[in-house]
Amino acid sequence: MAFGAETTTDEVLSGVDLTGKRYLVTGASAGLGVETIRALRAHGAEVVGTARDLDKAKGALAKAGVDGVELVEADLADLASVRRGADAIVAKGKRFDAIIGNAGVMACPESKTADGFETQFGTNHLGHFVFVNRVAPLLNNPGRVVMLSSSGHRFCDVDLDDPGFAKTAYQPFVAYGRSKTANAQFAKGLDMRLQSRGVRAVAVHPGGIQTELSRHMTQEALDQLRSAAGSSGIKFKTIPQGAATSIWAAVVAPANEVGGQFCQDCGVAAIDDSDARWGGVKSYALDPKKADALWAKSEEMVGELFRY
């Protein structure tokens, strides 16, 4: 079966038995995270999910008919919470076949995380940077890390000289774009560091999906986004279609095909450095030197070194 933009999670996993496999998914309380967990569980996998609000996660999973999921509290906007959650997982010592960094925020008003970082960069990137690196030693060989990026990375590259908008005016979608580029560059950095251990890392764009991620956007902004997408021939996806690329990259895609790449619509995206708002992946998102620079800056910001 050929996979594409309209492929669903169940289609990706058709005929796949995940009994004995174990996955870790951040963002277990809504949208893509819940669907990702549902699909994995439906095919026999063990799943650990993280969430800021465990009661909300329990309710969302129950509503989706999902049971048997181990939940761990981890607020990505609070590094103390991230470290507690990661340490609790590591203390159990159980291994994983893949980590899927799914949680995130989008286009929120200017604000700071508990550690004083700009909220989108701090939550989407730095929270995952610490969490994934702390848990990565538990990954099996072969193993995967999937980081959810976005076509929003096309808005802009990361600004390592001004990650918190101290020198420039805050713009919600610029901040979002920086954080999604950081997700892709982090995946690239992980892939460079972990592939010798049999672990490959990949960034994915799930597609345009209206989930709780858009909760900070006004209806007017949402309408404008839909209009712009429609004029570009972009169709919004269902949640099962949106989570399909994460599942594909984590479970069924050939490791050497997706490792260090940016994927969308259940395939590897082509480099596209045009000014188009939608399209393939900007080359800066996969630049090894930029990935290394981001890694060093991230270590500096969180006060923790991760060496492999």
Which residues participate in catalysis according to the annotation? Answer: 176
Residue 67, Cβ neighbours under 10 Å: how many?
8
The order of strands in the sheet holding 139-148 is: 70-73, 46-51, 22-26, 96-101, 139-148, 199-205, 262-264, 267-268
- Contact in structure between 278 and 231 (CB atoms under 8 Å): no
Q: Is 167 exposed, middle or buried (0-12, 13-18, 19+ CB in 10 A)?
A: exposed
Beta strands in the chain (DSSP E): 22-26, 46-51, 70-73, 96-101, 139-148, 199-205, 262-264, 267-268
The dihedral formed by the CA atoms of 243, 246, 248 and 249, expressed in degrees to the nearest 10: 170
Question: What is the token pair recorded at 15?
Answer: 């005929």
Per-residue DSSP letter, 78: -
- Contact in structure between 145 and 201 (CB atoms under 8 Å): yes
